[in-house]
A and B are shown apart, each in its own frame.
Chain A
């Protein structure tokens, strides 16, 4: 069995697409395709990463003619390995989106407060929070400011949750 055949077989055994494997290894999909068709060979660093990803030794990958039998399916009481603990590509993308959304909400809320303050200094009569009776009114201005504060809190929660390992 050649290296390219082994790479193809291992990828199929682990039900990964070329894109998923490429993302995990930090290479392009075309690179994975070339490895599997024998047009190129992964470098040493990538070979080590592939052996860790598929949990086989470099000897099995490079030297031996056949691949070792795939491991028996883990039981519920089995201890998850370090490989299982690594974040999957889908989780990483969701975390990234969560962080960006959180930042957008946070900075958006801060901008709302800052813009409201700037407008207040230019048009104080329209943006003050007290009415003719000098009582505090919960009108559109106040709600606008409170929404800004709520957006900051929401954005912070989203950002922190998405950033946790």
Chain B
């Protein structure tokens, strides 16, 4: 259970890094698109991409906490 807790913490960090990279890339692409390509949607739509990653991060953090609690209880 302790190892699982560590694994979930690492996965949460990995998801956060990937989320930041993806949102940043899409934000800058949309910013360019709005400025030069006449796109109607602003760069803020990039933050919608964060939703599934945020769900994954929260679940990973909760599972890491749960596994740590179970280890302490044993």
**Are the C-beta atoms of A113 and B56 separated by less than 8 Å?**
yes
**Are the C-beta atoms of B63 and A153 separated by less than 8 Å?**
no
Determine the interface band of chain A, counting residues with CB < 8 A from chain B. 20 to 34
**Are the C-beta atoms of B66 and A152 separated by less than 8 Å?**
no
Which residues 103-145 of A sit at the B interface, judged by CB distance below 8 A?
A: 103, 106-107, 109-110, 113-114, 117, 120-121, 124, 128-130, 133-136, 145
**Are the C-beta atoms of A136 and B59 separated by less than 8 Å?**
no
Which residues 79-111 of A sit at the B interface, judged by CB distance below 8 A?
A: 103, 106-107, 109-110
Shortest Cβ gap from B41 to chain A (Å): 4
**Are the C-beta atoms of A156 and B41 separated by less than 8 Å?**
no
**Are the C-beta atoms of B56 and A136 separated by less than 8 Å?**
no
Known: A114-B14, A136-B41. A128 touches B26 (CB 8 A): yes
Which A residues touch B53, using CB under 8 A? Answer: 113
Which B residues touch A134, using CB under 8 A? Answer: 30, 33-34, 39-41, 45
Known: A117-B22, A134-B41. A152 touches B30 (CB 8 A): no
Known: A113-B18, A114-B14, A160-B66. A106 touches B52 (CB 8 A): no
Shortest Cβ gap from A140 to chain B (Å): 14
| Complexed CA–CA distance, A135 and B33 (Å) | 12
Known: A134-B33, A134-B39. A121 touches B52 (CB 8 A): no
Q: What are the 8 closest A-B residue pairs judged by CB atoms, nearest first?
A: A134-B39, A149-B52, A134-B41, A149-B55, A117-B18, A145-B52, A156-B59, A152-B59
CB pairs A–B below 8 angstroms (20 shown): A110-B60, A113-B15, A113-B18, A113-B56, A114-B15, A114-B18, A124-B25, A124-B29, A129-B49, A134-B33, A134-B39, A134-B40, A134-B41, A135-B40, A135-B41, A136-B45, A146-B52, A152-B59, A156-B63, A163-B70
Q: Which residue numbers of A lie inside 8 Å of B, CB to CB? A: 103, 106-107, 109-110, 113-114, 117, 120-121, 124, 128-130, 133-136, 145-146, 148-149, 152-153, 156, 159-160, 163
